[in-house]
Amino acid sequence: MLNLQITDLTPLVAFWLAFSRWLAVIFQMPLFDNVSIPVTVKVLATLVITYAFFPMIQNQLYLDIQHVGAQSFWYLTIFNVLIGLIIGFFVKSIMSIFISAGALITQQIGFNALHYFDPNAGGQVGPFEKLIEWTVLMMILTSGALIPMFKGVVNSFSSVHVYNLGKMAHSPEFFMTMFKAFFISALMLSTPMIFINVVINAVMGIVSRAVPQMNVIAVSFAVNIGLGLLVFVTGSDEFFQTCFRIYTEKLGAWFQFLS
């Protein structure tokens, strides 16, 4: 009969703390936040990632354990889960730039015109939101842009401790600045479509005055969709390159703030 006895709980507690922070991050990462991925896969992937990075972060976790004591197991667990949730939420929030830009483009082109006539219609996700989100996601995964994110999470173990949490007291200004930048970025990405829509509405206003018998609303829907798709396809290369640059810049600013 095999008897196992743990003589030192500190490494085990440290591994659990690392796992709890990584798990909170992984559950919000792009691709892993998809509900179609089983929870078991997410947990196993987190175990592998934690095991891979644990030798690099265990000394930093020992400092937290020594500061509050191994008896404060649940306090340390809650602390690491909260830090992981904050890190993962902010990384996920960066993706909202492109979803918001897609929503604006969908509305400007006219694919959401049903909501103007049927307020009870459900809030379906438009085609551009999904197209932009998955295209940017594939660019991130295939280009290795997630490597800085893993590096940033690893660095957070050495920069965010229980005993120096007060240094983040200036975070409200940072978050206000960053979320303002998110809004401006989404607006900037959708600016060509907004401009085209304004021009079309102005032209249709002139046409309605010149030719009153024309059904301007029906014509404007067709013109909006056709011209909007043409503009988006023409500028898609620059659009997605800008999306990728925005993602890497915002991600770098976030982890630089943590460090």
Q: What's the pLDDT at 249?
A: 83
DSSP annotation string for 157-191: HHH--GGGGGGGGGHHHHHHHHHHHHHHHHHHHTH
The domain spans of the chain are 10-258
Q: How far is CA 192 from CA 38, 54, 94, 175, 188, in A?
A: 39, 47, 21, 28, 8
pLDDT band at residue 20 under the 50/70/90 scheme: very high
**Nearest to residue 231, comparing CAs of 204, 203, 192, 200?**
192
Structural tokens at position 17: 């703390």
pLDDT surpasses 70 at 1 = no
pLDDT tens by residue, 160-198: 777 766 656 556 777 788 888 888 888 888 888 888 888
Q: What's the pLDDT at 171?
A: 67
pLDDT top residue among 86 and 71: 86
CB atoms < 10 A from the CB of 133, how many?
19
> Cα Rg for the chain, rounded, in angstroms?
24
**64, 76 contact by CB (below 8 A):** yes
Average pLDDT over residues 53-69: 86
Q: What's the pLDDT at 19?
A: 93
Average pLDDT over residues 34-46: 81
Q: In angstroms, rounded to a whole number, what is the distance separating the alpha carbons of residues 101 and 182?
A: 10
pLDDT surpasses 50 at 116 = no
pLDDT top residue among 97 and 129: 97
pTM of the model: 0.74
